[in-house]
Amino acid sequence: MNTKNNTVTSSLEDYLEAIYFLSLKETEVRVTDVAINLNISKPSVNKAINILKEKGYVEHEKYGSLSLTESGAKIAKEIAFRHHTLKNFLHNILGVEDSIAEEEACSIEHHMSLDTIQKIAALAENLGYKSE
């Protein structure tokens, strides 16, 4: 994904997506929450957060909570849409086991064009499975 000439790698997209999903459930998102969610070390999260902060996608005061900027939220919502659409397609339409669909959607979401994802969402909706 490329926004304002700031390349966001698949790995960084995962951080944005994690912060987004955690913020839907919690009033405050901390580095520890992201580390637990992604099953990685806090130093790894801190390194990624610093990169995302430099790119203008995340706001973070040292030892404080994390929040997405407007541009970070835009990317995170697109990744969440991709993830949900792919998981829905794999699980509900192809019959892939839920846990496998979750894992594979997470892998695939970074490598498909938005056009393809939108076509999958349209197909799923035509088959009676609405995407978010």
Could you tell me the domains of the chain?
Answer: 2-74 (1.10.10.10), 79-126 (1.10.60)
Tokens 């005061």 locate to 61
Pairing of β 66-68 and β 58-60: antiparallel
- Predicted TM-score of the model (pTM): 0.85
Mind listing the pLDDT tens digit for each residue in 62-102? 889 999 999 999 999 999 999 999 999 999 999 999 999 99
> Helices 10-25 and 42-54, interaxial angle, to 10°?
100
CA distance 33 to 65: 10
Q: What angle do CA 29, 75, 26 make, to 5 degrees?
A: 20
